[in-house]
Structures are given as structure tokens and as C-alpha cells.
Amino acid sequence: MDRLYNFQVNQSKGRRWDEDEEKLETEESSQQEQTELKGAPWGSKQLLPGTIYCLLLLLFSSTIFLLQGVCDCPEKCICHPSSNSVDCSSQGLAEIPPNLPPQTLILHLQNNQIHQLSALAFRLFHALPQLRELDLSSNNISYLPASLGKPWENLTMLAVQQNQLQHLDRELLEFMPRVKQLLLKDNIWKCNCHLLGLKLWLEKFIYEGGITDGVICGSPDTWKGKNLLIIPHELYQPCAPPSLDLGYSQNQQPNSAYGGEDTKPPENHNSGHHIPLECEAKPKPRPANLRHAMATVVITGVVCGIVCLMMLAAAIYGCTYAAITAQYHDGSLAQTSESGKTGGKEMLESSTA
């Protein structure tokens, strides 16, 4: 019986020891979990399932956005989703690349081999309504149709320097009411009356605070190297019939805006038939010969000076002659009066004697 009692006592003590150890282990594990939760970045004791779902959804959406930006970027171009800019410069491109992101704000196309803007270019630009800056510099573009600027209502900067442009339609510029910077330098501008609209638009543009690098004439030889803005309106070369360009722009606008193929500038063919003109071209006024004008001024001045000197000499001579004559008459009268007095005295003395 004593042995049985001792065994039961020892067994109960062992159970107590096991229970105490389990309590200690439970307390240690709970303390460790609290420590880990306190060190978590969200500072909460437990992470809710909704929070995990939101984090996963955010990560998934950002991944889709990045993949979409990469997929929409054209080949040979670099897209920057953070700034909504597309860089396609110096890639040897012959035309505007397709698949441009519709949210593009800045488009770089400089230093390529773009000769003309095809029908595809019209559709591409119409798909970029938010475009702010367009750089087409250092290409071989020779013509920009007027209807090209219809989707550019938000454009603030246009660069077309270092191309082969001879004319630029004023209507194209009027489609860009928010433009603040226009770069046109280093083209082969033909300074005749076709460029008069550009001159008038630039004068207003600069007056309103716009920035431009100027238009330097490439032809004719009379104005080569001169700034377009300093040429008087009356001294432009005679122009071809304006009705040809007007008819072309009217026929080309609806087709080009929706994918028409006629995007080349009009060609002037001599068919031998008379084309009625809306207004006759004025003949070129004969410029004044400044050398002859200066010679005329010099000769006129010399002649006038000589005449003035002769008149002055004549006046001096007349005054001198009049003074001498008056003095002579005064002297002769004095002598006559003296001689008369002397004769009267002699006669009086002789009579008294």
C-alpha cells in the first residue's frame, strides 16, 4: 500500500511538472509572436485578410500597367510611362511609327529619314489628342499639309528645323492655338508671297510672347540669308496662281484626315491651257538704286550750295556798291556847298570894296 501511495504521489507531481513546462512554453511562444507583430511595418497585432487582398490587387494592377506600357511602345522606340514621353530619335525611321501610346504627351522623332507624312501619319496624330510637344527636326520633310494640325489643339511646342521646307501654310499654325515655341531654322525657305501668311502670323505670335528661332530665306538670291521678318511686304517675288494651292488644300483635307493617299504637294504642269486666276500676281517693283540716289543728293546739295553762295555774294556786292555810291554822292554835295559859300563871300567882299 505504501508503495502504491508513493507511486501515485510521484505520478501526480510528474503531471504538475509537465503542465508547468507546457505553460512556460506557451507563454514564451506568445511573447515571441507579440514581439514579431510589434516589429511588423504595419504595427498591428494581426494581418486582416482584406489587407492582404488589397496589397495583392495593387501589385497586380501595377504589373498590368507596366506590361501594357511596354506592349504599346513601338519598335525602335523608348517609352517612359512616368512622363508619358516616347523617344524615337536617331533610329533611321522613314515614317511615323505605329502603335504609339494614346496618352503620349511628348514625342521625339528627330534625326531620322522621314521625307513626307503619309496617310498613316494623319491617323496616328489623330490618335494622340493629348500631345504637347512634337520634335520633327533633322529630317528631310519638304511639305506639311494644313490639315495635319487639326488634332494639335493642345500642342505647345513644334520643332521642324533642319528640314527641306520651303513654305508653311498659315492655316496649319492656326490649328495650334496653344503653341508657345516654334522652331523653324535651317530650312530652304522661299521668301515670296506664298510665305507672306507665315510672316504675318509670326509677327502676331512674337507680339503675344511666343518664342521662335526665326525664318532665314534660302531663295531668291535677293533675300538669301535675310530674316523673313525684316523684308517689306511690297518687295516679295511674284507668286504662282494662288487658286492651285487653295484647290489642293480643299481637296486634300478630307482625304488626308481620314487616311487619304493624296498627301504630296501639288505639282505645276504646263498644259498650255489658260487657268483663270482669282487675283493677278503683281509685277515685281523695280528696287531703287541707292547709288544713283546718293549721287543725286550730292549733286543737288553742291548746286544748291553754289547758288546760295552766288546769291550771298550778289547781296554783299549790292550792299557795298550802294554804300560806296551813297558815300560818293555825300562827298560831291559837300564840295558843291563849300564852293558855293566861297564864291558868295568873294562877291560880297568885292561889292563892299
Q: Which residues pair with 159 in a beta bridge?
A: 135, 183
The structural domains of the chain, ordered by start, are 79-257 (3.80.10.10)
* Burial class (CB within 10 angstroms; exposed 0-12, middle 13-18, buried 19+) of 86: buried
- On whether the CB atoms of residues 121 and 96 are closer than 8 A, the answer is yes
Contact between 198 and 245 under an 8 Å Cβ cutoff? The reply is no
Concatenated DSSP letters of 160-213: --SS--S---HHHHHT-TT--EEE--SS-EE-BGGGHHHHHHHHHHHHTT-EE-
Judge whether 205 and 212 are in contact, CB under 8 Å. Answer: yes
Q: How many whole angstroms from its chain centre is CA 166?
A: 17
Contact 130, 101 (CB under 8 A): no
Q: Distance (Å, rounded) from C-alpha 175 to C-alpha 152?
A: 7
Is there a contact between 215 and 229 (Cβ–Cβ < 8 Å)? yes
DSSP 271: -
Is 227 in a helix, a strand, or coil?
Answer: strand
d(CA 264, CA 142): 9
The answer to whether 142 and 265 have CB atoms below 8 angstroms apart is yes
Backbone angle region of 214, left / alpha / beta, with phi > 0 → left and psi within -120 to 50 → alpha: left
85: helix, coil or strand? strand
**39's grid cell:** 516589429
- C-alpha 123/C-alpha 176 separation (Å) is 18
Read off the DSSP letter of residue 216. B
pLDDT tens digits along 43-93: 444 444 556 655 665 655 554 444 444 457 988 899 999 999 999 999 999
DSSP states of 290-333 as a string? HHHHHHHHHHHHHHHHHHHHHHHHHHHHHHHHHHHHHHHHHHHH
How confident is the prediction along the chain (353 residues), in pLDDT tens digits per residue? 454 445 454 555 455 545 556 665 666 666 655 555 455 444 444 444 556 655 665 655 554 444 444 457 988 899 999 999 999 999 999 999 988 999 999 999 999 999 888 777 878 888 898 999 999 999 999 999 887 767 788 999 999 999 999 999 898 899 889 999 999 999 999 988 888 889 999 999 999 999 999 899 998 888 899 999 988 876 665 565 544 444 444 444 444 433 444 444 444 444 443 433 333 334 445 555 556 677 788 898 899 999 999 999 999 998 998 888 888 887 777 777 666 666 656 666 666 65
Measured distance CA(317)–CA(311) in Å, rounded: 10
Evaluate whether 114 touches 137 at the Cβ level (below 8 Å). no
Please identify which residue in the block is written with the cell numbers 531703287.
Answer: 288
Residue pair 198/175 in contact (Cβ under 8 Å)? The answer is no
